[in-house]
Amino acid sequence: MPTAAPFPTLTRNTTERRSTVRVTRSRAAALAAAAVMLSGGCGGSSSGGAKGADADRFSVALTEPDHLTPGNTSSDYSITVLDTLFETPVSIDAASGKPVMRAAESVTSTDQKVWTIKIRQGGAFGNGEPVTAQSFADSWNATAYGPNGWTNNYYFANIEGYDKLNPEKGDPSTDKLSGLKVVDDHTLEVTLTAPFSQFPITLAYIAFAPMPKAAFADLKAYDQAPVGNGPFVLDGAWEHDRQIKVKRSPAYNGERRAKAGAVTFRIYAGRDTAYTDLRAGRVDLLTTIPPASTAEAQRLLGDRFLRTPDGTMDYLGFPTFDKRFANRDLRRAFSMAIDRKAIVDAVYDGAFKPMASLLAPLVPGYRENACGEACAYDPAKAKALFDQAGGFSGTLTLWFSNADPSYEQWMTAVANQLKQNLGISDIKLRKVPASDYLSSLRERKEDGPYRNNWVMDYPSPQDYLEYMWGAGNRMGWENKEFDDLIKQANSAPGLDASLPLYQKAEDVALAEMPMIPLWNWQNQVGYSTRISGVNVTPYSKNLYAISVKQG
């Protein structure tokens, strides 16, 4: 008998339009210092008499991506582009938060351990190559193969054979996951290491997109000029720090047929500059209006300003591998010394929500005050706990990226509060280029607390808890009770049964506080008079649905 599960069988329903997934790990926006638009000729506002796709082109403000290979990026900058170029097996429905079919025809299982994925027939890559089960298997194997060093490697850890591609010592004995079996051109069988009722929803993550055979001839070159199975294809070379252009794919025949002929992603060094260009009509869509400009944007844009819920969270992480931060009471003291509401009001004009939970509010299992006293601002108790933990000596270095001016603003506020409330006098700010920040954290170069940001891949507690607090986390934090609870939750017979276990795991992480929850983002979106059909959701920017007004 099939095991009860929230999504034991998923089938395609071609009559219903669905949103596509947006995933990532570092939230986009951008730095603001004396930044100027780096694209030549800043016009999203006029076609200038262009013909063909350019006459039906709109522009989107973006920060420079780190990679354009689906398995090798978790950056929202990158995934905004990849969402136009690729299609994952499923996507997330904006209304229900549940998985719906996209490149797959169905995802089924009788035991939640062995899953059968039927690939939609007729799918094609932008180069005309058919999308097959082998396309997915090849892409997933490449991402899971340890020596490639790709960012999304860990998302395949629950597929059988992962350990052989990622041995603790020596070289891998194989480059293929034993848990992937290509049954035929349109059937992929996936065997997991344990039952996992939420496996279908994970297939919305960008790492599970397919790649064509041509990619494997030169993976480095492919990263610069990816060919995907989505509604758009690249239109010319990736012009670093300037622009990325895509156009409607002639090979695409899925449900996300592009309404516009082309899109230009204009690369900005700062979203303040991007907002200035939006107001001037020089860029058509900005999905990250600076929160401090929210009131003005609402007044100027009217119904062209949108505010939408978001799964993105900001945290302050600790390098627990550094003995100076090994004491949990010290970390809890830091948390209680931070006035989250004051920072949100000052830096984000109250647009974000101060958090006392590791999960975003739209995630099943969210509890508004899961953290309790440890996340309540209480300078007196913070100082007492700090002294009890032995205090802190030496220089305290706070790490963050230069991707957005607000990061330095709130880190400065945190530094001032820690000085005032805990008496730490020697605090320095370490601002790292956005392109180097995630790699620095992965390599554990940080020598102090750091800004950590999580953009929801799919609405599940597992997506937050396991990937940020589980094995191999950036903090170097290890806790067997937490790991065991995550395993139990992952193997539960369904979502309802898993939630209490995920919540217990969250309680363990909050008690130890290796990473402090700070606030939950909200999307502030604005667009020009040239376009219509803007529908940004927590899961996708849905650029395929945007039309350019003619005349």
CA distance 332 to 315: 13
pLDDT band for position 52 (50/70/90)? low
pLDDT class of 55 with cuts at 50, 70, 90: confident
Q: Give me the domains of the chain, ranges plus CATH numbers.
A: 57-284+528-548 (3.40.190.10), 309-521 (3.10.105.10)
Q: pLDDT for 10-19, tens place per residue? A: 333 322 222 2
Q: Which helix (H) or strand (E) holds 547?
A: strand 547-548
Q: Is the C-alpha dihedral spanning 304, 308, 311, 315 positive or negative?
A: positive
Which residues lie closer than 8 Å to 403 by C-beta, 6 or more apart? 26, 28, 29, 30, 31, 63, 434, 437
**Rg of the chain in Å (alpha carbons):** 23
CA distance 169 to 165: 11
Question: 257-313 pLDDT, tens per residue?
Answer: 999 999 999 999 988 999 999 999 999 999 999 888 988 999 999 999 998 889 999
Q: Of 43-52, 206-215, 238-247, which range is least confident?
A: 43-52
Reported as a pLDDT band with limits 50, 70 and 90, residue 383 is: very high
Mean pLDDT of 526-534: 98
Of residues 6 and 406, the one with the higher pLDDT is 406
d(CA 146, CA 472): 14
Whole-number Cα distances in Å, 361 to 270, 309, 508, 520 = 28, 9, 19, 8
- The pLDDT assigned to 434 comes to 87
pLDDT at 456: 87
Q: Which residue has the higher pLDDT, 21 or 237?
A: 237
477-495 pLDDT per residue, tens: 999 999 999 999 998 887 7
pLDDT (tens digit per residue) in 340-364: 999 999 998 888 999 999 999 999 8
